[in-house]
Structure 1
Amino acid sequence: MIKQLSAAVLALAAAFPSLADVLTVKENAPEQYVVEKGDTLWDISAIYLDKPWLWPELWQMNPQIDNPHLIYPGDTLYLVYDAQGRPRLVMERPENYQKLTPHGRKTMKSDSAIPTISLELLRPFLTYEQALSEEQIAAQPYVLGANENVKRPTKGHILYVKGDLERNRNYAIYHKDDPYIDPQTEEVLGYEVKLVATARAFRSGDFDNGVPASVFVNDVKREINAGDFLLPVSEGQSLPAFFKMRRPDKEIDGEIIASTNELREFSKMDIVVLNRGLIDEVKAGHMFDIRRQSPTVVDGDDGPSYKEDASTYEKVASNIEESFNFEEDGDNTTWHMPKEKVGELMVLKVQDRVSYAIVTKTLRPIRVGDVVSVN
């Protein structure tokens, strides 16, 4: 019997890729491939495409595969080209097909359909941080103290909360952390708030009459402090059941301003924070390239050198203007090099002025300050 895919399945789709996303098959793509147990649509597409998130272009327009989610171990897939020369994966090879090498692998057929990438597979990499404005934080109920005079309330303690809570509802307790600063405008985009604990309300409280609400601490991730605030446990943490991966419909340029692992460099499957959000029309599933500015070169009397290695005189004499690729000032020429691609990412969660994304591909270690763009 076909196993039912759970509601948390992550469908990696790109129904409307941009014109820049030309569907190019790898040179070593096999003529045929026999589905193996454990294969995903992403895995199979990666055999044929450098950008496997474009898999719907390879699969969904084929009448031979009515539902690409329902292919099974043992099914044989054939790489062919349609009348317009576009590559397609089909389950029945037509008479006039173009033969490619090497040949595909073979395995025994099973009765279980291969899944797409499940959201549950991403869960270990996800964090619960959010970005809220100072006004949003100030409007929430907050911790006054505990039922014992302890500095670090833990699991099993009772907390008293200023504000009205819904009895028997689960709440997340957050700590206000550092602000997210837009490096371009120096504006505060919001404050990072970190999940410290979860709790269940058993007294609703009566704020107007000075009666605090009461919660029972279920689990603790970090130290709970007086002043930490509460939100319903799922608020701000809901992710789409299906991510429709595609390029944004318009040019959006931004920058990586933080990462949730707080390291200097990070890699594939790490979560990063972008200085673009809902007001910039960023959406969950949007795919961006990650690019890094190459170092500026000052070509002076002693030959070319990187700006940071140039002499004080050369730095002053170069009179660098970012709007030009190079300038000449006496015997010095300053060259502003291009930005080069170092990876790709997909947006997971979008808030008003920031968004959270997962790094899906790296060519170099990713850093805070790397820029993101559509092309």
Structure 2
Amino acid sequence: MLKKLLAVSAAALLTFATYAVAVELRADHPDTYVVKKGDTLWGIAKRFLDQPWLWPEIWQANPQIENPHLIYPGDVLSLAYLGSGQPALSVNRLSPQVRAESLPIPAVPLSEVQDFLRNQHVLEEDDYKRLPYVLGFEENRLRSAEGQVIYVRGEGLEQGQRVSIVRPTLRYASMPTATDKRPEREPIVRRDEWSTAKGLEPKNNSIRWAHHYVTGRRFETLGWEVIEVAQGHVTHLGDPNTILVAPGGHEVRDGDLLMPYEPFPYDLSFYPHAPEQVPDNARILAVTDHLQFGGRHDVVAISVGAREGVRNGQVYSIWNPGATVRDDIRHKHRMAANMKRNQVTLPDEFAGHVMIFRTFDKVSYGLVMDGIRPVQLDDVLKAPDRL
């Protein structure tokens, strides 16, 4: 009976300790804060909390407002304490007219993610293969620019339709492995078989593979990353279709693909929060500009997406997987030290935190918010408070 009481008491203390940590304020937190242009929700949450992803725990959003999480420059945040002693933030909002003339502050700094929000997409493999593609150019040019005509094969276009012309850059994949050997961290550069077979892929443009290894799963293409290079309008339907390239883009090449134009392809009305659970095999697939390492305010691609429950605003901790070393201390003989059973995997090492800002079905983009060591390919994602 005594053991049972001790176990219950320990559980109660653990629950209380977890709750206390969950709502603990920074020692130097302000009592009030006036929101300024250029602020982010992450930055404001970090003024009050050591763990910014716990923002929902202290934010007293007004449910009568259409989007209660939106905060505008000029709003005044005030800290108070509920009857239970829990800290809570409320807001004295600007007048509706003043707010209508300004934009709400984003969760992440827009300057760091604009290109990924506006110009980059991750396509499902079926969508990628059935999109119309650029076949040729007027006057038999090798490239095309604004004000020129391109010829496109494929279905689904409409007369006068505005389209985005995109270029495949990365193929994200899960690669099965039959061994415990760690994969090479540098993505393999290969040709895209589908485009090559049709003679569409430019000879000087390889498509890179960004992948991670998993056990117990077959090869799976997670998606194709494409970057918008130009826009255009459908001027004539046929086989091929005729497209007039709009001003303001880059040169168009054969093999580029066409997508319907989206005037508002993204939504930034989210807030930092912890995920309910961390998906299996959540890893870093790629780092900004195809680098092997990254740091604060670098964008990374994650190997999980909407199908695994990933949502914009979720925060994860990033961990460098522990290296595997030989135990030469206990096993002095060289042959014994080389045996697999005498190898030891060191603990994973915390690298930083990442917040998801754009989610596709099987791949997500996140922004590294902070860190104490470089983020690298194949790093593992865990719960944000896992330290």
CA distance in 1, matches of 2:19, 2:120: 35
Residue of structure 2 equivalent to 1:278:
306
Residue of structure 2 equivalent to 1:366:
375
Question: Residue type of the partner of 1:142?
Answer: Y
Alignment of 1:1-375 (within 5 A): 22-30=22-30, 32-33=31-32, 35=34, 37-38=36-37, 42-60=42-60, 77=78, 79-89=79-89, 116-118=104-106, 121-122=109-110, 124-125=112-113, 126-127=115-116, 128-164=119-155, 165-182=157-174, 183-185=212-214, 186-203=219-236, 205-206=237-238, 211-219=239-247, 223-234=251-262, 238-253=265-280, 254-301=282-329, 313=335, 316-317=338-339, 319-320=340-341, 329=342, 334-374=343-383, 375=386
Change (3 A) 1:371 1:189: same
SS of 1:282's partner is coil
- For structure 2, the 5+ residue unaligned runs are 1-17, 175-211
Question: By how many angstroms is 1:91 displaced?
Answer: 7.8
Change (3 A) 1:43 1:286: closer
CA distance in 2, matches of 1:275, 1:345: 13
CA distance in 2, matches of 1:74, 1:224: 45
Q: Which moved more, 1:157-166 or 1:174-183?
A: 174-183
Change (3 A) 1:141 1:123: farther
Change (3 A) 1:219 1:265: farther
CA distance in 2, matches of 1:68, 1:136: 34
Change (3 A) 1:238 1:74: closer
The answer to whether the Cα contact below 8 Å between 2:318 and 2:353 also exists between their aligned partners in 1 is yes
SS of 1:261's partner is helix
The Cα offsets for residues 276-325 of structure 1, whole Å up to 9 and x where unpaired, read as 12322222232221111233343314999xxxxxx9756523x15xxxxx
Question: Residue type of the partner of 2:270?
Answer: F
CA distance in 2, matches of 1:61, 1:148: 60
CA distance in 1, matches of 2:171, 2:40: 39
CA distance in 2, matches of 1:89, 1:118: 18
Question: By how many angstroms is 1:131 displaced?
Answer: 2.9
The answer to whether the Cα contact below 8 Å between 1:261 and 1:270 also exists between their aligned partners in 2 is no
The answer to whether the Cα contact below 8 Å between 2:164 and 2:232 also exists between their aligned partners in 1 is yes
CA distance in 1, matches of 2:26, 2:103: 23
SS of 1:85's partner is coil
With the length of structure 2 as denominator, give the TM-score of the two structures. Answer: 0.67
The answer to whether the Cα contact below 8 Å between 1:62 and 1:89 also exists between their aligned partners in 2 is no
CA distance in 2, matches of 1:41, 1:134: 35
Answer 1 or 2: which has greater helix percent: 2
- Cα RMSD of the aligned pairs, angstroms, is 3.8
Change (3 A) 1:91 1:201: closer
The Cα offsets for residues 210-230 of structure 1, whole Å up to 9 and x where unpaired, read as x42211112565552222210
With the length of structure 1 as denominator, give the TM-score of the two structures. Answer: 0.69
The answer to whether the Cα contact below 8 Å between 2:41 and 2:272 also exists between their aligned partners in 1 is no
CA distance in 2, matches of 1:168, 1:47: 50
Question: By how many angstroms is 1:141 displaced?
Answer: 1.3
Change (3 A) 1:356 1:24: same
CA distance in 2, matches of 1:150, 1:359: 42
Question: By how many angstroms is 1:371 displaced?
Answer: 0.9
Identity of aligned residues (%): 29
Change (3 A) 1:87 1:62: farther
SS of 1:161's partner is strand
The answer to whether the Cα contact below 8 Å between 1:62 and 1:88 also exists between their aligned partners in 2 is no
Question: By how many angstroms is 1:146 displaced?
Answer: 1.0
SS of 2:351's partner is strand
The answer to whether the Cα contact below 8 Å between 1:34 and 1:73 also exists between their aligned partners in 2 is no
